[in-house]
Structure 1
Amino acid sequence: MTDFMASSLTILLLLIGMFVVLGVMSLMLKRREITVKSPVDKEMLTRTAAHGLQDQIQNMQMDLMGTQLLATLIVSLPFSYFGMKAHILSNQFPWGLALCITLGLTFAAYKTWRQFSTLEKLRLGYTAEIATANELIGLQGKGYQVFHDIQADGFNIDHLAIGRNGVFTIETKGRHKRNRDSKASSKGNGKNYQLRFKDGRLCFPSWVETKPIEQALRQANWVNQWLSKATGNPVTSTPVLVFPGWFVTSQSKPPFPILNHKQLVKVLPTAGNQELTQQQVDAIVYQVTQRCLSKKTLSK
Structure 2
Amino acid sequence: MAPAVFCMLISGLSLITVIISTTLVFIVCARLTRKPWKKIKTLRNDLINYRLGFDGERYVAAELAPLATKGYYIFHDFIFDMVPGGDDTNFNIDHIAVGPEGVFAIETKAKRKQTKAPVNELQSHEIAVEGSSVENTILRFPDGSTDNEPIAQAIRQAASLQRWLSKSGITLEVRPLVVLPGWMINNPNWTKLGVQSAKNIALRLPDLGKGRRLTHQEVQQIAARLEDKCRNIEGAR
Q: TM (normalized to structure 1)?
A: 0.61
- Answering whether residue 150 of structure 2 is matched by residue 218 of structure 1, we say no
Partner Cα separation in structure 1 for residue 189 and residue 205 of structure 2: 19
Is the Cα–Cα contact under 8 Å of residues 158 and 171 in structure 1 kept in the other structure? yes
Which structure 1 segments of 5+ residues have no match?
3-92
Question: Which one has a larger percent helix, Structure 1 or Structure 2?
Answer: 1
- Answering whether residue 107 of structure 2 is matched by residue 179 of structure 1, we say no
The 3 A distance-change label for structure 1 pair 116 and 259 is: same
Aligned length: 203
- Answering whether residue 97 of structure 2 is matched by residue 161 of structure 1, we say yes
After superposition, the CA RMSD in angstroms is 2.6
Residue in structure 2 matching 1:170, options 103, 106, 110? 106
Q: Which residue of 2 aligns with 1:277?
A: 215
Q: Which residue of 2 aligns with 1:237?
A: 174
Is the Cα–Cα contact under 8 Å of residues 79 and 91 in structure 2 kept in the other structure? yes
Is the Cα–Cα contact under 8 Å of residues 194 and 205 in structure 1 kept in the other structure? yes
SS at match of 1:256: coil
Partner Cα separation in structure 2 for residue 98 and residue 293 of structure 1: 57
- Answering whether residue 48 of structure 2 is matched by residue 104 of structure 1, we say no
The 3 A distance-change label for structure 1 pair 163 and 254 is: closer
Q: Which residue of 1 aligns with 2:126?
A: 194
Is the Cα–Cα contact under 8 Å of residues 239 and 256 in structure 1 kept in the other structure? no
Range 264-273 or range 162-171, more displaced:
264-273
Is the Cα–Cα contact under 8 Å of residues 181 and 197 in structure 2 kept in the other structure? yes
Q: Which amino acid aligns with 2:116?
A: R
Question: Which one has a larger percent strand, Structure 1 or Structure 2?
Answer: 2
Cα deviation, residue 113, structure 1: 1.6
- Answering whether residue 226 of structure 2 is matched by residue 288 of structure 1, we say yes
Partner Cα separation in structure 1 for residue 193 and residue 57 of structure 2: 19
Is the Cα–Cα contact under 8 Å of residues 136 and 265 in structure 1 kept in the other structure? yes
Q: Which amino acid aligns with 1:220?
A: A
Cα deviation, residue 212, structure 1: 0.6
Cα deviation, residue 103, structure 1: 3.0
The 3 A distance-change label for structure 1 pair 254 and 276 is: closer
Partner Cα separation in structure 1 for residue 231 and residue 28 of structure 2: 49
Q: Which amino acid aligns with 2:66?
A: G
Partner Cα separation in structure 2 for residue 167 and residue 197 of structure 1: 22
Is the Cα–Cα contact under 8 Å of residues 172 and 242 in structure 1 kept in the other structure? yes
Q: Which residue of 1 aligns with 2:69?
A: 141
SS at match of 2:167: helix
SS at match of 1:117: helix
Which structure 2 segments of 5+ residues have no match?
4-20, 81-88, 132-136
The 3 A distance-change label for structure 1 pair 282 and 97 is: farther
Residue in structure 2 matching 1:205, options 129, 133, 142? 142
Partner Cα separation in structure 1 for residue 186 and residue 200 of structure 2: 12
Cα deviation, residue 194, structure 1: 0.8
SS at match of 1:289: helix
Partner Cα separation in structure 2 for residue 278 and residue 141 of structure 1: 14
Residue in structure 1 matching 2:183, options 238, 246, 267? 246
Q: Which residue of 2 aligns with 1:117?
A: 45
Partner Cα separation in structure 1 for residue 141 and residue 124 of structure 2: 11
Percent of aligned pairs with the same amino acid: 30
Range 244-253 or range 285-294, more displaced:
244-253
Q: Which residue of 2 aligns with 1:131?
A: 59
The 3 A distance-change label for structure 1 pair 256 and 112 is: same
Partner Cα separation in structure 1 for residue 69 and residue 188 of structure 2: 32
Q: Which amino acid aligns with 1:196?
A: A
Cα deviation, residue 111, structure 1: 0.3
Q: Which amino acid aligns with 2:235?
A: T
Partner Cα separation in structure 2 for residue 101 and residue 219 of structure 1: 48
